[in-house]
Amino acid sequence: MASIQKRPDGIWRARYRDDAGKEHARHFARKVDGQRWLDEVTASVVTGMYVDPAAGKVTFASYYEQWAARQVWESTTVRAMNLAAGGVTFGSIPLARLRTSHVELWVKDMSRRGLAASTIRTRFNNVRTVLRAAVRDRVLAQDPSLSVSIPRTRRRDAAMAIPTPTQVGDLLEHADTFRAFVGLCAFAGLRLGEAAALKVADVDFLRRTIRVERQVQRANEGLVEIRPPKYGSERTVYAPEGLIEMLAAHVAENLAGTGGWLYPGERSAPLHQNSVGYLWRRTRAAAGSESMRLHDLQHFYASGLIAAGCDVVTVQRALGHKSATVTLSTYSHLWPTAEDRTRKAAQGMVLSALADSLRTQAQETAGDQGRYTLKRNSTTSPSAMT
């Protein structure tokens, strides 16, 4: 409900009530200006972009603090969101005054400080999540980050580094007690946290399976936090015999049959991620693969499955991806294309045709040889000489 009236002092008073029944009013020297304001408010209500003027005075930082307190996040998500939201350059600006230019200046500042394109993208997406929530809560009319450009990241196929079998072999040779851990990543596709959280009981040495049920997460003060695997991807990995032998040797040589964690750390906890990082850096340095990441071993495993002809769903389940879409977006460039299949099929036809041609030539050669032998025998026989 809206109205506009002239006061005794000649000032026009425009007012309306929002959905909650709260009255809002403004004063104008001209009636046309007051009517324009009411029209704008009405239009925003009709289009779903209405924002309570009082709510729009809340700053980005204040809104994030209130909104984040209502979210159900894992500890890693809390740290990532706090890092992104706490690093914006517009935290003290009221949401009603937040513009695209503010977001652009923040992105520019991150680029100027030398942050990687992938880091900028992650922080930008986290902050965009907050802005979209503000729109849903009707404290922000529209998302000011919609038209903001961010630095381009490298294509997955160009950025992905897949170790060679020789490199993986060198790693295993120099891994010492870390050998089984490297094997779990390279031949079972386990992530760092998943491999660190394995217990001896998770390995079925007879059936050659590995059960992934938990992962190690960083925690404060050097503590280890045990959580379900990423994406809730509990799964059974069908391990090759060679990996099972590595695990059996590791248990026999380093654990003395005590069971418990496959790689125990301090305070009855599994090995901490920092300790895994140290062992990995030492191993790759000894093997001469300084630039290799531990996660590259998962790429090695995935590429091997794909090269062996495994389909998307098989690879998805083996890696514990949330969906086949994630698998395809990561490894689609490794699967044979239609052109590859066409070329392979045509090559099969070439080989088949050449095989038939060679067989025909061999038969003709054998026939000619037989006729030549028969003619020669008939020429040299006694009856022909008399």
Q: Which pLDDT belongs to residue 54?
A: 57
Q: Which pLDDT belongs to residue 313?
A: 93
Q: How many residues does the chain have?
A: 386
227 has which bridge partners? Answer: 215
Q: Is 24 helix (H, G, I), strand (E, B) or coil?
A: strand
| Contact status, residue 208 vs residue 244, Cβ threshold 8 Å | yes
Q: Based on DSSP, count helices (H) and strands (E) in the chain, helices before strands.
A: 16, 8
What is the C-alpha radius of gyration for the chain, rounded to an integer number of angstroms? 35
Q: Burial, 373: exposed, middle or buried (Cβ in 10 Å; 0-12, 13-18, 19+)?
A: exposed
Q: Which pLDDT belongs to residue 386?
A: 43
Q: Which pLDDT belongs to residue 41?
A: 65
Ramachandran angles phi, psi of 9, nearest 5°? -85, 5
Q: Which pLDDT belongs to residue 20?
A: 65
Q: What is the pLDDT along the chain (386 residues), one digit of tens a residue?
A: 677 878 888 888 877 776 666 777 778 888 877 777 666 766 665 555 555 555 557 899 999 999 999 998 887 889 899 999 999 999 999 988 899 999 999 999 999 999 999 899 999 999 999 999 998 888 888 899 998 999 987 666 566 889 999 999 999 999 999 999 999 999 999 999 999 999 999 999 999 999 999 998 876 656 788 888 877 789 999 999 999 999 999 999 988 756 699 999 887 889 888 899 999 999 999 999 999 999 999 999 999 999 888 999 999 999 999 888 888 888 888 887 767 777 777 877 788 778 766 676 766 666 666 565 555 555 555 544 44
Q: List, for residues 246-255, the tens digit of each pLDDT value.
A: 999 999 998 8
| CA separation for the pair 41, 24 (Å, rounded) | 10
Determine the CATH number of domain 58-153: 1.10.150.130
CA distances (Å), origin 41, targets 48, 100, 160? 11, 22, 51
Q: Is 212 helix (H, G, I), strand (E, B) or coil?
A: strand
Domain 165-334 homologous superfamily, CATH: Intergrase catalytic core (1.10.443.10)
Q: List, for residues 268-327, the tens digit of each pLDDT value.
A: 889 888 899 999 999 999 999 999 999 999 999 999 999 888 999 999 999 999 888 888
Largest Cα–Cα distance in the chain? 152
224 has which bridge partners? Answer: 218
| Contact status, residue 272 vs residue 224, Cβ threshold 8 Å | yes
Report strand pairing: 209-212 vs 12-17. Answer: unpaired
| Contact status, residue 142 vs residue 49, Cβ threshold 8 Å | yes
| CA separation for the pair 209, 160 (Å, rounded) | 28
In SS3 terms, 290-304 reads as CCCCCCHHHHHHHHH
- Where do we find the tokens 């307190």? 69
Q: Which pLDDT belongs to residue 74?
A: 80
| CA separation for the pair 210, 207 (Å, rounded) | 9
Nearest Cα to 182, choosing from 195, 163, 166, 200? Answer: 195
| Contact status, residue 239 vs residue 209, Cβ threshold 8 Å | yes
Q: Is 199 helix (H, G, I), strand (E, B) or coil?
A: strand
Q: Which pLDDT belongs to residue 194?
A: 94
Could you please report the per-residue DSSP string of 214-236? -EEEE-GGG-EEEEPPGGG--EE
Ramachandran angles phi, psi of 73, nearest 5°? -125, 155
